[in-house]
Amino acid sequence: MLDKQKGYETLVNPQIFKGKLDISVESKRWVKYPDIKQDMKDLGSAAKETLNLFANGTFIQAFSAYTAYGDAVRLCSTAHTRPDGGSNQSNADSSGITLTEANLETGMNAIRQQKSGTGKKLMIGPGNLVLMVPEALDKEAVIITGSQKRSNTTDNDLNWYLGKIAVYVNPFIGSDVVDLEGNTGSDTAWFLFAKGVHGLMFVWDQRPIYKAWEHEDTDDFFTKVYFSCKPTWKNWVGLWGSKGDQNAFSG
């Protein structure tokens, strides 16, 4: 009997962002065009920074109490309920394993054994996996996945990961980053994604638009950027994560 994958609903409430730049009439009169140009560049850079921090807050808070999906648990959880009433599933390591050559296999096996909302195997192959790490794990991730021979061994064993996992070093999830809600990133957490399977989304209500106008009384010139969006997920499958801090985790 054929049955489509069951899932929960995801309710998306886009958040509005806007910023304004005031260019005084004196700046125009004194022909301070380099300063004006730099201020306008800074406004654009601030918009990009805001988007990056907003989007990656999803991963910074992946193990926290933040929820978006209908199962009402965090993105990376050991207690995802099944819509069909089946046994709970996990997409988070319960012991916070660090990123090592051996532990990467543990994560790969976990994500490949995930089931759909009706308990069906998702058939996640090793060739479409992405390992996402903070900058602090850049070297370790590349050595493990990209070495011609198996890393941290003295023999001539082959590197089974070579060509199977792509590495994405995310500069916005490390400990030097604070998201828009005041949460600090991690230098130890690491994630696996299955391309074409994961349910992560970035929903645009309004992509960035710029408006410019001149004040009729002061003759000051204004430019404003406005956008509305929301990072969320429509399902947790196709994603697996570990806090990498070697501490017990549940929830």
| pTM given for the model | 0.87
Quickly state the pLDDT bin for 7 (edges 50, 70, 90): low
Phi-psi region of 16 (alpha: psi -120 to 50; beta: other; left: phi over 0): beta
The strand pairing partners of 239, in sequence order, are 193
pLDDT over 80 at 5, yes or no: no
The strand pairing partners of 149, in sequence order, are 158
Ranges of each domain in the chain: 15-242
Q: What are phi and psi of 224, to 5 degrees?
A: -135, 145
Nearest to 93 by CA among 81, 108, 115, 72: 108
pLDDT of residue 6: 58
pLDDT digits (tens, 9 = 90+) for 123-169: 888 788 999 999 999 999 999 999 888 877 777 688 888 889 999 99
Quickly state the pLDDT bin for 57 (edges 50, 70, 90): very high
Pairwise pLDDT comparison (160 vs 177), residue with the higher score: 177
